Structure 1
Amino acid sequence: MRYRFGENDQFDYEARLALGAVWQHGADAGEVLTAASDAADGGAEQWFASWTALARRVHEQAGKSAAGGHRVSARDGFLRAAGYFGTAMVAVDACAGPRARLREVFGEHRACFDRFAEAWDPPAERVSIPYEGMSLPGYLISPPGRTEPLPTVIVNNGSDGPISGAWTLLGAPAVARGCRALLFDGPGQQTMLFDHGVTFRPDWEKVVTPVVDFLTARPDVDARRVVLAGISQAGYWVPRALAFEHRIAAAVADPGVVSVAESWWRMLGPELRALFDSGDRAMFDRVIVEGLGSDPALAAVWRWRAKPYGIPSPFDLLTEVGTYDVTAVAGRITTPLLITDPEGEQFWPGASQRLYDALPGPKELVRFTAAEGAQLHCEPLGRALFEQRVFDWLDTRLACAGPRED
């Protein structure tokens, strides 16, 4: 497909992701194309302004629909507005006053998603999942008219995506197929990071196990048919959790990730890797800081990607990221795991195949190609095809697991 939404690779990708959300009512094609066109090659400030203006306009329209009793129009409008605010946030670290802007726009984003969740039929349940003396916030969303124990998909978000994206990418197709979907913010994600300062951790089983405990204690969840599905960096977190948490009936990693640090070193290159490997912390930090100071665009990407780790020293940050590696525990995974392998994967190329090869248990590698229009990280424009292949596989696996015996 010969098209681009501007010269900025990240903005081009985000526009594709927004356009793909049309499939699950998370965007409107005309709105996305107009905003992307207005923002094309205008820099971060223009990107932020275009998408926030669109989000606020759609939010206002959704409010009028709600006031008039038009539930479906309001529901879909609030979801679109939430997604557009999420798209705007991608540029916040390259704008002036990023902290204040993030605080303002993130609040608007979550308020819109809350209104969407309330307008769902039945209204989504706001949940608090006990976690190490605090709680993880989430939404349990169900198909209409179903009160019996149902298969439930735990939607594991990635490193920086909005919860509206987790819904359109994984939650909505799960609910459409008769499952409940649990969306939640884990350490380093959204509310846990922005409101509570809780950062990422590599031992994600310590996150997933409390989530599974919470779900399996509920009478409306079929404990024998709980699914763990993750997008983007959750392609590491899902297999890491599966190595220790064995109550999951089936799982999805979109895509597979063996070592999170690989995406960082692709950005930094071999010379900086050699300097890092030398162990000269002071020199490495100095070179990185100087390099970021001379390249504002790269500095913005660094700040956005580093934020969830909460580690100021580049050397210490990359040392920590290096611990996010599933190699040593992949042999413990026995849960059936489907791994996507999109052509042109730009962050972890080749990792899906390597993860697949390392798994000893039931596994499936599903490729998505440019010829199908489903290439790139998380198949942004191939959502219908993704759902068909991935959820058909899940349906088969859940049927094998059988319903809960009460």
Structure 2
Amino acid sequence: MTYRFSANEQFDYEIRLALGSGWRQGADVGEVLATASAVADGDGETWCTAWAELARGVRERAERAAAEGRTVSARDGWLRAAGYSGTALVGVDAAADPEKRLAEVFAEHRACFDRFLGAWDPPAEPVSIPYEDTSLPGYLVGPSGGSGPLPTLIVNNGSDGPISSAWTLLGAPAVARGYRVLLFDGPGQQSMLFERGVTFRPDWENVITPVVDFLLARPGTDPRRLALAGISQAGYWVPRSLAFEHRIAAAVADPGVVRVADSWWHNLGPDLRTLWESGDRAAFDGFMAEGLRRDPALATLWRWRAKPYGVDSPFDLLTEVSRYDVTPVAGRITTPLLITDPDGEHFWPGAAQELYDLLPGPKQLVRFTEEEGAHLHCEPMGRALFEQRVFDWLDGRLTRSDG
């Protein structure tokens, strides 16, 4: 790469993601760069504080604009504030009182995003999706002037991203093209985790099927034009769901993921994997505890990544993550699936091609390169190119036939 914003790989990526969201008004480049320059080489506490303060200032200006009847300024400000609060959450586990700080920052994030969607034209509809003995919170967002049955895109978020990122990465470009969009939190994601303590599950078809049931029961859904698109770890959840849920007309995995655990072992290395495979739980947990004690930055990242699984023991955690493997069911997938394959994919290198090779049905592998500026996980700074390629493909698959 020709440039970096931080020596910390996670911080560098988050800054890129924030900059890229500016394409859909989720951030202002100047605000991002000014904040990044102050925190790029700091610790998690510094990171969390700076982005939360930026979010608070932007929200205050948005509230003043709303009070003055300046609806566009208010709406745009609420979206940026939601995004900056979401960025702050990446470092929250380094805070002196992480649980208290998480509750505060997440409440700010969600309040701003709610205000943004309430100011959308037309206002988004908050929804509650029946799910087992509870419900999944979400939003239905439609295009201005949209009426009658519309193509609908289910946006499946990843492992730890805020819902504001799901909007800028997939929701906003879909609505701009005339789709109705469903944003939701599934098990282990944001509000389901932080407010209800519901953790991830590998059998994601048991999440997507209730979502499809919910949408098909609504009069505004065209059952022939229902799509599913997933970000980051949803590159596993999307194909897993398609193996069992066949009412979806087309889907996108950004990027393709076969085994979620590969992203963990990529960073831990072969020696630790050998120790884990030996089954010596006590030795593995002891080694990991010492390593995390010596590296506070790694410990913060580990806690953030582990939180949605609800498993404390590193040995048990990796045993659980290893269940997230699409290989046994990939042969059942018949839904047309587009898989992104960006240069520099650092979580699941090579997985997009592997998933593509496993699929028996209609499929498309789409490369994004560093030369195009659209490299790295989820193409953080190549959003215009991503939207053109991915949504042109989706539009082609969802073209309505009146026959």
**TM range, smaller chain:** over 0.9
- Corresponding residue of 2:305: 305
CA shift for structure 1 position 283: 1.2
* Contact 1:334–1:362 under 8 Å retained in 2: yes
Match of 2:142 in 1: 142
- The C-alpha deviation readout for 1:254-279, integer Å capped at 9, x for no partner, is 00000000000011111110000001
How far does the alpha carbon of each residue in 1:336-378 deviate from its partner, in whole angstroms, 9 at most, with x for none?
A: 0000000000000000000000000000000000000000000
Aligned length: 403
**Contact 1:188–1:199 (CA<8 Å) still a contact in 2?**
yes
The SS at the match of 1:135 is strand
Q: Map of 1:11-30 to 2, 5 A cutoff?
A: 11-30=11-30
The question of 1:168 aligning with 2:168 is answered: yes
| 8 Å CA contact retained: 1:151, 1:226 | yes
The secondary structure found in structure 1 opposite 2:307 is helix
State the SS of the aligned residue for 2:6.
coil
SS in 2 for 1:79: helix
Structure 1 residues 152-207: Cα deviation after superposition (integer angstroms, max 9, x where no partner): 00000000000000000000000000000000000000000000000000000000
Equivalent residue runs for 1:73-152 within 5 Å: 73-152=73-152
Which residue identity does 2:291 align to in structure 1? G
SS of 1:90 mapped into structure 2: helix
Please give the alpha-carbon distance, in whole angstroms, between the structure 2 residues aligned to 1:167 and 1:277.
39
Q: Which moved more, 1:237-246 or 1:94-103?
A: 94-103
Q: 1:94 and 1:228 mapped to 2: Cα distance?
A: 35
Any conservation in 2 of the 1:58–1:77 contact (CA below 8 Å)? yes
Instruction: Give SS of 1:329's match.
Output: helix
After TM superposition, the structure 1 = structure 2 runs for residues 5-404 of structure 1, keeping only pairs within 5 Å, are 5-399=5-399, 402=401
| 1:341 partner SS | strand
- Deviation for aligned residue 1:6: 1.7
Unaligned runs of 5+ in 1: none
Matched AA of 1:170: L
Q: What is the DSSP-based 3-state SS (H/G/I as helix, E as strand, rest coil) of the residue aligned with 1:129? A: strand
> CA–CA distance in 2 between the matches of 1:3 and 1:72?
34
- Greater alpha carbon shift after TM alignment, 375-384 vs 88-97: 88-97
Kindly indicate whether the alpha-carbon contact (under 8 Å) linking 1:156 and 1:228 is maintained by their aligned counterparts in 2: yes
Contact 2:255 2:377 in 1 (8 A): yes
- 8 Å contact kept, 2:44–2:300: no
TM-score by length of 2: 0.99
Alpha-carbon shift at residue 402 of structure 1 (Å): 3.0
Q: Which amino acid aligns with 1:45?
A: E
User: Does the residue aligned with 1:160 lie in a helix, a strand or coil?
Assistant: coil
Q: Indicate conservation of the 8 Å contact 1:128/1:137, yes or no.
A: yes
Deviation, 1:40, is 2.0
Amino acid paired to 1:281 = R
Identical positions, percent: 74
Report if the CA contact (8 A) 1:225-1:402 is conserved.
Answer: no
User: In 2, distance between residues paired with 1:157 and 1:291?
Assistant: 30
Alpha-carbon contact 1:258-1:326 (below 8 Å) kept: yes
1:2 deviates by: 2.0
User: 2-side partners of 1:119 and 1:185: how far apart?
Assistant: 21
Indicate conservation of the 8 Å contact 1:35/1:51, yes or no: yes
- How far apart in 2 are the matches of 1:94 and 1:71? 36
Structure 1: 4+ residue segments shifted above 2 A: none
User: What one-letter code is carried by the residue in structure 2 that aligns with 1:261?
Assistant: A
Partner of 1:224, secondary structure, is: strand
Q: Would the aligned equivalents of 2:19 and 2:27 in 1 still touch at CA under 8 Å? A: yes
- 1:12 deviates by 0.6
* Counterpart-to-counterpart distance in 2, 1:307 and 1:364: 33
The C-alpha deviation readout for 1:39-69, integer Å capped at 9, x for no partner, is: 1212222211221111001000110111111
For residues 257-304 of structure 1, the C-alpha deviation after alignment (integer angstroms, 9 at most, x for no partner) is 000000000111111100000011111111111211111111111100
CA distance in 2, matches of 1:269, 1:280: 17
Matched residues in 1 for 2:9 and 2:100: separation? Answer: 25
- State the alpha-carbon separation in 1 of the partners of residues 317 and 49 from structure 2: 31
Counterpart-to-counterpart distance in 1, 2:151 and 2:193: 29
Give the Å deviation of 1:133.
1.2
Task: Tell me, in whole angstroms, the C-alpha distance in 1 between the residues paired with 2:199 and 2:139.
Answer: 20
Q: State whether residues 43 and 297 of structure 2, in contact with CA within 8 Å, keep that contact through their aligned partners in structure 1.
A: no
Distance 2:156 2:386 in 1: 17
Inter-partner Cα distance in structure 1 for 2:21 and 2:246: 32
Q: Distance in 1 between matches of 2:147 and 2:140?
A: 13
Instruction: Indicate conservation of the 8 Å contact 2:156/2:228, yes or no.
Output: yes
* SS in structure 2 at match of 1:361: coil
How far residue 10 of structure 1 moved from its aligned partner, in angstroms, is 0.5
Find the aligned partners of 2:264 and 2:401 in 1 and give their Cα distance.
42
Between 379-388 and 274-283, report the one with greater CA deviation: 274-283
